[in-house]
Amino acid sequence: MTNYDAGDVLTVHGGTPLNGELRVRGAKNLVSKAMVAALLGETPSRLYDVPAIRDVEVVTGLLELHGVKVTNPSDGEFVFDTSDVESANVDEINVHAGSSRIPILFCGPLLHRLGHAFIPDLGGCNIGGRPIDFHIQALREFGAVVDKSEKGMDITAPDGLKGAKLELPYPSVGATEQILLTAVRAEGVTELRNAAVEPEIIDLICVLQKMGAIIKVHTDRVIEIVGVPRLVGYSHRPVPDRIEAASWAAAALATRGDVFVKGARQVDMMTFLNLYTTVGGAFEIDDTPGEGGIRFWHPGGELKAVAMETDVHPGFMTDWQQPMVVALTQARGLSIVHETVYERRLGYTAALNQMGATIQTYRECLGGTPCRFGRRNFMHSAVIAGPSKLHAADLVIPDLRAGFSHLIAALAAEGTSRVYGVKLIQRGYEDFEGKLNALGAHVELG
Ligand code: EPU
């Protein structure tokens, strides 16, 4: 483990319950998209409650390269002035290649503003193949010409962008956002079938509506967008980060703690709360305006094993899976997890086994309904036998959510663990080290 600098290694003295309060801000998976949407507005946009995370830095860098003036007048408040949008230098854009999935969403806004777009090769977590075929297919149906170049993708729209009738093979979050960000200013009407309808997508639709877009969300995952010739800036307070909230909830359960997550909202987390209760966790909603949140705690006694599967909204989020599995290592009996969104999102369980957990992964679809990954060579189901006494280990973080799960496991384990690669966690969790200290965890960098 010699390749990590001191700021990238967290020493965790585990075995202490997390107790206290923290606050979650705007959802990473909305904030970054709302920042891209600002490009579509002819007047400045203002976004509040923006967390200080690496993904926000990456998108800020990309916006600035395209001439957007980004200012941060107060804590969490960002203003995007788009009066001088311009083409960026390909090599400069490529500095951001591999660091995030967001650049792909610049296509529509840049095509509308500049007539062309260059998109670097994408990054993000290594949790599956993560193809972008739905994005490319949709852009082509709008009339875009997409050419693969050595460094990324060159996209033009010689005849402009026109509304289209589209149907996604799977309700992809990113492809739905791509289509929304492109259709709002395309000529004519776009009809999208089998759209993703996650709360972050509905919030992006709210942002776009504030900008002047006309978007109708029908039943059965159908979204209709009536293109308009111009959009203005927005002022928006994002939905809270329900992934971060659930991560802390799982940490409270796994460490037998008691954590109040200020800013968490029941409406975004109903599916999570159902599972949390079934496992034996306790929660209490405080809906005082501006002050509210959800208290999550371990009520004592034993946790119960469950069978669960991840799914698109309103199902159990794939991003909730990894933190909850750590809590399930403490439940009595056999729990079953079927991951149906990403084909390779269970690799992190090997590290939990190294710490004393008993988790077996399977290629078959266990429990629930068969999914796209059944009968293919993907270990996408798991059986967790518990409860297991976790012990400390040296851990290397593989991706964002798995990384936070490693951290939870280290906090729940007896002894001192060293967690390598914690900078990856900063992509999506604001000041997690400060929050851990405030919750009474014994952690230090280096
Ligand atoms: N897919 C394709 N082709 C495409 C696009 C997607 O086959 O062109 C497949 C993917 O391979 C995957 C499934 O569709 O199997 C779902 O992918 P989706 O497009 O919905 O995911 P995404 O937009 O890349 C976002 C979040 C993820 C979150 C998923 C699912 C962002 C930046 N990322 O990813 O969040 O897990 O939706 O809710 O919004 C995270 O925050 O750690 C994270 C990974």
Whether 128 shows a pLDDT value over 70: the answer reads no
Ligand 1: does its nearest atom lie under 6 Å from the Cβ of 425? no
What spacing in Å lies between the alpha carbon of 174 and ligand 1's midpoint?
Answer: 6
The residue whose CA is least distant from atom 31 of ligand 1 is 29
Using DSSP bridges, classify how beta strands 307-309 and 331-338 pair: parallel, antiparallel or unpaired.
Answer: parallel
Asked about 365 being catalytic, the answer comes back as: no
**Burial status of residue 434 (CB atoms within 10 A of its CB: 0-12, 13-18, 19 or more):** exposed
Residue-wise pLDDT tens digits, 248-273: 999 999 999 999 999 999 999 999 99
Ligand 1: does its nearest atom lie under 6 Å from the Cβ of 341? yes
Ligand 1: does its nearest atom lie under 6 Å from the Cβ of 109? no
Ligand 1 pocket: which of 102, 341, 348 to mutate (most atoms within 8 A of CB): 341
Q: Which atom of ligand 1 is nearest to the CA of 101?
A: 32
Dist. CA 174–CA 178, nearest whole Å: 6
Residue-wise pLDDT tens digits, 261-311: 999 999 999 999 999 999 999 999 999 998 899 999 999 999 999 999 999
Ligand 1: does its nearest atom lie under 6 Å from the Cβ of 132? yes
Whether 216 shows a pLDDT value over 90: the answer reads yes
Burial 396-405 (b: 16+ CB within 10 A, else e): ebbbbbbbbb
What spacing in Å lies between the alpha carbon of 108 and ligand 1's midpoint?
Answer: 18
Q: Which atom of ligand 1 is nearest to the CA of 318?
A: 36
Residue-wise pLDDT tens digits, 129-181: 678 999 999 999 999 999 988 778 899 999 999 999 999 999 999 999 999 99
Ligand 1: does its nearest atom lie under 6 Å from the Cβ of 428? yes
The residue whose CA is least distant from atom 39 of ligand 1 is 29
216 is in an annotated binding site: no
Residue tagged active-site, from 125, 206, 365, 371: 125
Report residue 446's pLDDT band, with 50, 70 and 90 as the boundaries. confident
Instruction: Return mean pLDDT, the chain.
Output: 94
Q: Which residues pair with 283 in a beta bridge?
A: 296
In degrees and rounded to multiples of 5, residue 424 shows phi and psi of: -60, -35
Q: Do residues 320 and 309 touch, judged by C-beta distance below 8 A? A: no
DSSP calls for 195-253: ----HHHHHHHHHHHHTT-EEEE-STT-EEEE--S-B---EE-PPB-HHHHHHHHHHHH
In terms of pTM, does the model score above 0.75?
yes
29 is in an annotated binding site: yes
Return the axis-axis angle of helices 318-328 and 270-279, rounded to nearest 10°: 10
What pLDDT score was predicted for residue 119?
86
What spacing in Å lies between the alpha carbon of 125 and ligand 1's midpoint?
Answer: 10
The residue whose CA is least distant from atom 15 of ligand 1 is 342
Dist. CA 48–CA 39, nearest whole Å: 17
* Average of per-residue pLDDT across 85-89: 85
The residue whose CA is least distant from atom 17 of ligand 1 is 172
Report residue 196's pLDDT band, with 50, 70 and 90 as the boundaries. very high
Ligand 1: does its nearest atom lie under 6 Å from the Cβ of 342? yes
Whether 98 shows a pLDDT value over 70: the answer reads no
Using DSSP bridges, classify how beta strands 19-23 and 258-262 pair: parallel, antiparallel or unpaired.
Answer: parallel
* Average of per-residue pLDDT across 9-37: 97
Residue 149 or residue 191, greater confidence: 191
Residue 101 or residue 202, greater confidence: 202
Residue-wise pLDDT tens digits, 324-343: 999 999 999 999 999 999 99
Ligand 1: does its nearest atom lie under 6 Å from the Cβ of 133? yes
Phi-psi region for residue 368, left (φ > 0), alpha (ψ -120 to 50) or beta? Answer: left
Dist. CA 110–CA 63, nearest whole Å: 10
81 is in an annotated binding site: no
* Average of per-residue pLDDT across 317-322: 98
Q: Which atom of ligand 1 is nearest to the CA of 313?
A: 38
Report residue 2's pLDDT band, with 50, 70 and 90 as the boundaries. low
